[in-house]
Amino acid sequence: MSGIATIEIDGKKYEFPVTVGTENEVAIDINTLRSATQGVTTLDPGYKNTGSCESAITFLDGEKGILRYRGYAIEELAEKADFLEVAYLLIFGELPTREQLQKFHNDIRDQSIVAEDMKKILDGFPQSAHPMGVLSSLTSALIAFNPSSVNVDSEEDMYKAIVKILGKFPVLTAWTYRKRAGLPLDYGDDTMGYVENFLKMMFKKPQGEYKRNEIVTNSMDKLLILHADHEQNCSTSTVRMVGSSHAGLFASLSAGINALWGPLHGGANQAVIEMLEAIKADGGDTKKYMAKAKDKDDPFRLMGFGHRVYKNFDPRAKIIKKAADEVLSDLGVSDEVLDIAKGLEKEALEDSYFVDRKLYPNVDFYSGIIYRALGIPIEMFTPMFALGRLPGWIAQWREMRLRKEPIGRPRQIYIGETLRAFKDIDYR
Ligand code: CMC
């Protein structure tokens, strides 16, 4: 691969360096494009061809269906690591030693107290509010309770901010659910692991003990790992973009939560189950919905199918599909919706519309089915995604600040009116 790319505009040639990543991804570095060409820019809606940064956190190869965090295969991490280990790996770059992991966990636990006044903010929301809106607002509100901005030149300051949000976020997530469910808030249990404590804060009934369930805790741990990072997706790019203005960590995360909420992104996990339920209620006729998904005059899309980057099986979907089967059988749950999902998948994989466009099940296609089996209510599916993605957002924000990246500020090609004279209101 030559180290130079040549662009010809109006007969004039311009040369730009070609940069190659450690996994041989190739990019034309157009840093000097505008200055060299006196103002020519690139146009790439949806950034389908644009690398926004260099990053050492997550590698994915959409053609081969590969996903790795810091060089470790997702399959291996999902099997052998726990969520906090993966969080540490993503944020700090290496798997923690036993001591580092213990300290990390202790420090997070010490930061898990949420200011009592935050409850007043929670109280202000209607009970029917979607938990994602509440979660982003509460994350944003944390800024008011922690007003001094993080000094990113201090490793210690960075670390404190990171353990603070990792400590408080599960509490806020669980509280959004309890508010919606009309349950008194729960403060968790210091003696429990990170994920188990989260589940306890979600589900402990006021009048009884929380019953530990290994299958539920382990499955949830695995799901969180699978969601923990996915390089420059919509919400992560949002976190980096907001953070690039030197807005603080909590403000950047709150923006990321809102980006994740959309049904084309993290909100798809809720949309998938709603779609499968609708198909079930409509008699389970998957063919009818396949036809709708292919009809360009029908806005219906097969939720949980397709991905901007994966043009082969989403490796996370493979793991989750297997886990869905295991969890349902371990818990002795049967779910008709799983059969509809499998039927839809089979039909789609044999249908030329989906095959030609390389549309495969994504992470969200089966995750909702497991969440349901684990007792997570549907409106909490996307908050679960946010809880899982939190370490990835933090890692990406930290990397962006440590690399001293410039403020994100794309260009545009203006296609509006050219200069025209102001028309008085009487003549419009
Ligand atoms: N059902 C039917 N047709 C689809 C679907 C779908 N789910 N996804 C893409 N297509 C078609 C699309 O209509 C287009 O067809 P044509 O070329 O004839 O115009 C072609 O496939 C390419 O689609 P696109 O919208 O240009 O692709 P994209 O990269 O912009 O969008 C996507 C990716 C994930 C937004 C899209 O596939 C989609 O809307 N999927 C359903 C929502 C979903 O499951 N989102 C979760 C993504 S994974 C979790 C996460 O990380 O966010």
Q: What whole-number distance in Å separates Cα of residue 308 and Cα of residue 125?
A: 35
Strands 58-61 and 66-69, bridge-based pairing = antiparallel
Q: What whole-number distance in Å separates Cα of residue 2 and Cα of residue 4?
A: 5
Nearest CA to ligand 1 atom 47: 265
pLDDT reported for residue 7: 95
User: What is the rounded average pLDDT for all residues in the chain?
Assistant: 94
pLDDT reported for residue 2: 61
308 lines ligand 1 (CB under 6 A): yes
Q: Within 13 Å of residue 145, how many CA atoms lie on the same side as its CB? A: 21
Q: What whole-number distance in Å separates Cα of residue 326 and Cα of residue 223?
A: 13
Residue 385 tokens read as 């995604």
Nearest CA to ligand 1 atom 36: 306
Ligand 1 centre and the CA of 269: distance in Å? 14
204 lines ligand 1 (CB under 6 A): no
Residue 241 tokens read as 């973009």
Q: Which of 227, 229, 264 to mutate to test the pocket of ligand 1 (most atoms within 8 A of CB)?
A: 264
pLDDT in tens, 252-267: 999 999 999 999 999 9
**Catalytic residue IDs:** 307, 364
180 lines ligand 1 (CB under 6 A): no
CA 39 to chain centre: 35
pLDDT in tens, 57-96: 999 999 999 999 999 999 999 999 999 999 999 999 999 9
365: helix, strand or coil = helix
Ligand 1 centre and the CA of 304: distance in Å? 9
Q: List phi, psi (to 5°) of 12.
A: -105, 135
pLDDT reported for residue 147: 76
Strands 26-28 and 58-61, bridge-based pairing = unpaired
CA 65 to chain centre: 18
306 lines ligand 1 (CB under 6 A): yes
pLDDT in tens, 189-212: 989 999 999 999 999 999 988 888
Ligand 1 centre and the CA of 308: distance in Å? 7
103 lines ligand 1 (CB under 6 A): no
In the sheet with 66-69, reading across from the earlier edge strand, the strands are 58-61, 66-69, 72-73
362 lines ligand 1 (CB under 6 A): yes
Atom of ligand 1 nearest to the CA of 357: 21
Nearest CA to ligand 1 atom 35: 264
| Alpha helices (H) along 227-335 | 234-244, 249-261, 268-281, 286-294, 315-331
Residue 147 tokens read as 């007003």
359 lines ligand 1 (CB under 6 A): yes
pLDDT reported for residue 416: 98
pLDDT in tens, 339-395: 898 889 999 999 999 999 999 999 888 898 889 888 899 999 999 999 999 999 999
Ligand 1 centre and the CA of 118: distance in Å? 38
Q: Name the pLDDT band for 159 (thresholds 50, 70, 90).
A: very high
pLDDT in tens, 89-148: 999 999 999 999 999 999 999 999 999 999 999 999 999 999 999 999 999 999 999 877
Atom of ligand 1 nearest to the CA of 308: 29
Q: Name the pLDDT band for 335 (thresholds 50, 70, 90).
A: confident
pLDDT reported for residue 1: 65
pLDDT reported for residue 369: 87
414: helix, strand or coil = coil
Helix (H) or strand (E) holding 177: helix 155-181
Burial status of residue 350 (CB atoms within 10 A of its CB: 0-12, 13-18, 19 or more): exposed
311 lines ligand 1 (CB under 6 A): no
Nearest CA to ligand 1 atom 10: 306
